[in-house]
């Protein structure tokens, strides 16, 4: 089934343009529903009018992605996994980034400390905030009371969504009973335990993971759980290491995704997870190699899974400050993969103050492409330079491409200079443009009535440039001579 059009969605609305959803028209609601900026539930007419029930059900079915989205946890830190429409990002976009869960043993004496660290961990990169999405509590003790107590302690110190991981259904459900209001993810329903775990999930409206290393058996488990009444399922074909097994793990994940998204198999139409943390139970780590070498293998597997839009990952490495490198690798890769290829990431045009600039501080000029503006700002700060940064609207395109395409031009820069009153802030008329825009300097001097100097091609050279080439008095002398 192809992607619906806004007109198909519009046909199922009442066309009243009531604006209760916050949109001006029902057509605007249709467009935003297609882009997942609103939900069917935001249309009060459909939800509250019994006469609209048939249309509502049709609309829900129409906009439902072939891979169902599952919510784990509650509150501000809840995470949504799955819900994708395409196999490859360039076909449309990925909507819900891979959720990263870190496993903690239920008998870990540092459970609270680790949970707090993971909950508070924030990495700001290129304008985005990168975080861990959840904690997987692994039953190591084999004791129901210990597991239940650990789950309770974990829920009290961390707002992160919790995955309860235990292959013994009695222990698993004992742990879930105490925190079921927090919507934990139950791991796992197997060939032996699916009915017991499934009934508990239905009674408490909880998501669960169906697990099998045999895809046919996994599809059978999915079908049985759905027939039982379970609605929220995550699929795990198991992660295996060793010669040839990386390819097997990759292939199983891709088969599940293809079956869901391309073939619309309802038994496969759920989020798919992987467990790179399984490395530590499958590989002999007492082989004389250093710890980081084993951690690296785990992270390589995680990166491979993330690159093919695996919905959820469980990692062992990354739970301490010393292991932050492991999380940084996965979180920065995720940031790239889950950017929207349909739009240029941009920031607002304007004049930005960096540090504490005065009336003789330099004015740097850059584009409003986010991955240009932010590094330039960081490099100016890193060079301990107090400056103004003039961000020009280049339609979110980087310097080199925008110069070639005309979005970053002498006219556009001059217009920004005037619009934002750049020279009202300083006692000079000097603009520093990027080295990649050097060819604009002559025209810009005329259009902006300024003395234009060409800065480094890369913002990493700003510190050196300021020490060796920034001579405002000399530049202003030349400017005055030019005007005479």
Structure tokens at 351: 């004049």
Percent of the chain with pLDDT strictly greater than 90: 94
Instruction: Calculate mean pLDDT across residues 392-407.
Output: 95
Confidence (pLDDT) at 241: 96
Confidence (pLDDT) at 386: 97
Q: Which residues are within 8 A (CB) of 413 and not within 5 positions of it... i.e. 6 or more apart?
A: 365, 390, 392, 431, 433, 440, 444, 447, 448
Instruction: Calculate mean pLDDT across residues 126-152.
Output: 96
Percent of the chain with pLDDT strictly greater than 70: 100
pLDDT tens digit sequence for 188-201: 999 999 999 999 99
Instruction: Calculate mean pLDDT across residues 372-376.
Output: 95
Q: Which residues pair with 346 in a beta bridge?
A: 369
Instruction: Calculate mean pLDDT across residues 459-476.
Output: 95
- Kindly tell me if the per-residue pLDDT of 368 is higher than 70: yes
Confidence grade of residue 343 (pLDDT, cut at 50, 70, 90): confident
Specify the pairing of strand 69-72 against strand 79-82: antiparallel
Between CA 209 and CA 190 the distance in angstroms is: 9
- Count the neighbouring beta carbons within 10 Å of the beta carbon of residue 336: 11
Phi, psi (degrees; rounded to nearest 5) at 364: -90, 145
Instruction: Calculate mean pLDDT across residues 209-216.
Output: 98
pTM value is 0.88
Confidence (pLDDT) at 367: 97
Q: Which residues pair with 163 in a beta bridge?
A: 136, 185
Confidence (pLDDT) at 342: 87
Instruction: Calculate mean pLDDT across residues 354-362.
Output: 96
What is the SS3 assignment for 134? strand
Mean residue pLDDT of the chain comes to 95
- Count the neighbouring beta carbons within 10 Å of the beta carbon of residue 53: 11
Give the rounded distance of the alpha carbon of 467 from its chain centre: 39
Question: Higher-confidence residue: 1 or 387?
Answer: 387
pLDDT tens digit sequence for 254-264: 999 999 999 99
- Kindly tell me if the per-residue pLDDT of 2 is higher than 80: no
Q: Can you list the domains of the chain with their CATH numbers?
A: 6-63 (1.10.15.40), 69-337 (3.20.20.20), 350-483 (3.40.50.11600)
**Residue 6 preceded by cis peptide, ω within 30:** no
Confidence grade of residue 344 (pLDDT, cut at 50, 70, 90): confident
- Kindly tell me if the per-residue pLDDT of 1 is higher than 70: no
DSSP output for 91-134 = GS---SPPEEEEEEETT-TTHHHHHHHHHH--EEETTEEE---E
Confidence (pLDDT) at 409: 97
Segments in 383-471 forming alpha helices (H)? 399-405, 410-419, 441-448, 462-468
């Amino acid at each position: 089934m192809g992607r619906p059009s806004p007109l198909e969605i519009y046909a199922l609305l009442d066309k009243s343009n009531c604006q209760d959803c916050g949109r001006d028209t029902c057509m605007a609601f249709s467009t935003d529903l297609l882009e997942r900026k609103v939900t069917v539930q935001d249309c009060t007419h459909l939800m509250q009018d019994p006469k609209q029930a048939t249309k509502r059900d049709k609309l829900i079915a129409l906009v439902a992605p072939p891979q169902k989205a599952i919510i784990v946890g509650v509150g501000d830190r809840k995470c949504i996994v799955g819900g994708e429409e395409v196999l490859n990002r360039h076909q449309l976009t990925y909507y819900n980034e891979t959720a990263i869960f870190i496993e903690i043993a239920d008998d870990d004496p540092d459970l609270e400390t680790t949970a707090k660290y993971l909950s508070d961990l924030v990495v700001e990169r290129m304008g985005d905030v990168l975080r861990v999405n959840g904690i997987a509590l692994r039953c190591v003790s084999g004791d129901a009371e210990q597991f239940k107590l650990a789950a309770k302690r974990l829920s009290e110190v961390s707002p992160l969504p919790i995955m309860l991981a235990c292959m013994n259904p009695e222990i698993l459900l004992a742990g879930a009973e105490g925190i079921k209001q927090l919507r934990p993810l139950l791991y796992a329903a197997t060939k032996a335990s699916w009915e017991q775990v499934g009934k508990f999930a239905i009674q408490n409206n909880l998501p669960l993971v169906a697990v099998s290393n045999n895809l046919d058996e996994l599809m059978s488990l999915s079908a049985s759980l759905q027939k039982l009444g379970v609605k929220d399922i995550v699929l795990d074909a198991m992660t295996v290491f060793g010669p040839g097994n990386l390819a097997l793990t990759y292939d199983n994940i891709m088969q599940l995704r293809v079956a869901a998204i391309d073939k619309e198999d309802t038994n496969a139409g759920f989020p798919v997870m992987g467990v790179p943390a399984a490395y530590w139970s499958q590989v002999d780590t007492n082989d004389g190699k250093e710890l980081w070498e084993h951690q690296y293998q785990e992270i390589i597997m995680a990166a491979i899974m993330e690159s093919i839009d695996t919905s959820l990952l469980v990692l062992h490495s990354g739970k301490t400050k010393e292991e932050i490198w492991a999380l940084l690798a996965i979180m920065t890769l995720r940031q790239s993969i889950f950017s929207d290829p349909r739009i240029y990431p941009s920031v607002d045009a304007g004049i930005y103050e960096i540090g504490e600039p005065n009336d003789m501080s330099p004015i740097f000029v850059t584009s409003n492409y986010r991955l240009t503006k932010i590094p330039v700002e960081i490099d100016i700060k890193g060079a301990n330079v107090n400056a103004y940064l003039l961000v020009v609207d280049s339609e979110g395109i980087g310097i080199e491409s925008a110069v070639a395409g005309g979005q970053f031009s002498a006219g556009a820069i001059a217009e920004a200079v005037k619009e934002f009153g750049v020279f009202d802030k300083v006692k000079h008329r000097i603009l520093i443009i990027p080295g990649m825009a050097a060819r604009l300097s002559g025209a810009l001097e005329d259009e902006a009535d300024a003395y234009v100097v060409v800065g480094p091609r890369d913002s990493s050279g700003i510190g050196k440039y300021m020490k060796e080439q920034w001579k405002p008095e000399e530049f202003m002398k030349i400017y005055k001579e030019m005007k005479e």
